[in-house]
Amino acid sequence: MAEIEIKNLHKSFGDFIAVKNSNLVIENKEFFVLLGPSGCGKTTTLRMIAGLELPTSGNIYLDKEDVSYLRASQRDIAFVFQLFALYPHLNVKNNLSFPLKMQKFSKKDINTRVLEAAKLLRIDHLLKSKVSSLAGGDRQRVALGRALVRRPKAFLMDEPLGTLDAEFRELMCLELRKLHDDIDATTVYVTHDQQEAMSMADRIAVMNEGEILQADSPNIIYNKPKTKFVANFIGSPGMNFIPVNEKISPNQSSVNISETTLPIPFQRGASSSDQNFLGVRPENLKLVSENGIKGNIFGVEYLGSRKILTIETSLGNIKIRVDSDTNVKINEQVQFNTLNNNQIIFDGSTDKAIASEFMT
């Protein structure tokens, strides 16, 4: 289908920079997610790929062809705005035919393509039904079918599940991913919801303030975030950052934190600052009876089989994930330590991860 490349892509609105010199290669058949908080430039990036917005500078390539200044209609890309944007008074067949009629396809081709899309989406038995009479899931499939009949090289989706309730959203995530796999298309999907991103993506680009901070598989984004922002944005709760008041040197394998020595992965790099952070996920900390960092239980959140404890310490609040049969009371004094060596040291002056045995 299609490889999409963006090179030094930049977009300003007056003095405001919405997308800063971004570079990405989205591979053929990849399910690629642009993830980040509101206003970080996801939609602007997607609209430039679609041809709905022109770049201020930089280029977009579709299968190596420079399409940066081609109109949307010349790009062979389908933009799926909102999965519910259908014509409710028309039947399913007419809704699916519509984009092809607009493009003046022959009746025969329209019938072939509509039937093919309907079968793929398992709505071929509904072709004569009015869209207004359909259940939510079937309506979503019709909306997808509208993009599918064009057989585009790539699908671009901007928060397509944004308005749905949680349960339905989960189901549609699975359906979208399955559809993607069935048709072998390249998909670029925008969301601010990390769970959606983690569950569907082959790779995720985490954006903030117009910049792509990291583009990697969900597993690497979660376990080896390259910046504090990514580490905190991904995960619920996000990563803990424990202040480390010492300079980090190559070969260092422990740090001193509040009268406790904690092992860290063997460091390959050095910090430029002497105020750094030990990044550790809540599931990689454990309660201990001695030689730990001390604090008081401030909050307990039940999550079924697990609990998240918030521990108030002189270093700030730290979150730990424990089994739900762990017995602790609010205000109880506890100690905690690291469970394994899956920690990352972030440089206090750059907020970037320092290269370590764990990160490589």
In the complex, the residues that contact ligand ATP under the rule CB under 6 A are 13, 16, 18, 36, 38-44, 192
**Minimal distance in Å, beta carbon 72 to ligand ATP?**
16
Nearer to ligand ATP, 17 or 70 (CB): 17
Nearer to ligand ATP, 93 or 192 (CB): 192
**Minimal distance in Å, beta carbon 46 to ligand ATP?**
8
Nearer to ligand ATP, 36 or 295 (CB): 36
Report strand pairing: 203-208 vs 31-35: parallel
Residue nearest to ligand ATP (CB): 43
Q: Are 96 and 139 in contact (CB under 8 A)?
A: no
**Minimal distance in Å, beta carbon 238 to ligand ATP?**
19
Nearer to ligand ATP, 41 or 292 (CB): 41
Work out the number of other CB atoms within 10 angstroms of the CB of residue 75. 22
**Minimal distance in Å, beta carbon 24 to ligand ATP?**
15
Nearer to ligand ATP, 36 or 99 (CB): 36
Q: Are 105 and 151 in contact (CB under 8 A)?
A: no
**Minimal distance in Å, beta carbon 75 to ligand ATP?**
19
Which residue matches tokens 């904690």? 262
Alpha carbon 145 to chain centroid, angstroms:
24
**Minimal distance in Å, beta carbon 230 to ligand ATP?**
15
Work out the number of other CB atoms within 10 angstroms of the CB of residue 349. 12
For the chain, the residue count is 360
Nearer to ligand ATP, 124 or 193 (CB): 193
